[in-house]
Amino acid sequence: MKPFFAVLLLVCLVLTSSFFELTMAGSEFCDSKCEARCAKAGVKDRCLKYCGICCEKCNCVPSGTYGNKDECPCYRDMKNSKGKPKCP
């Protein structure tokens, strides 16, 4: 009887982690816009992370790989804890 519960617990953990990964995935819109925005970034994973955070909050990403932040005032005006621009 104990092996049954161990297997059941293991299956539940696997299913829960799979569901968690799906819910943590960004939206299709933000993923594609941030991929384009961060195409030339030196540290691409960090660019994608912060772009995704900004996109989810603002629902927009400026066009191009740099600049054009006037297209998205929310994206442009978001600051980090040090008062510097948060969004790439």
Contacts of 17 (CB under 8 A, 6+ apart): none
Those residues whose C-beta lies under 8 Å from the C-beta of residue 57, and which sit 6 or more positions away, are: 74, 78
Assign 61 to helix, strand or coil.
coil
Domain ranges of the chain: 27-87
Give the CA diameter of the chain.
Answer: 64
Q: Say what the pLDDT of residue 62 is.
A: 97
User: Is pTM, for the whole model, over 0.75?
Assistant: no
How do residues 5-26 score in pLDDT, each as one tens digit?
666 656 655 655 544 433 344 6
For residue 10, the model assigns a pLDDT of 60
Which residues, given as ranges, of the chain have pLDDT below 50?
A: 18-25
Residue 19, pLDDT score: 44
Question: What is the C-alpha separation between 18 and 73, in angstroms, rounded?
Answer: 35
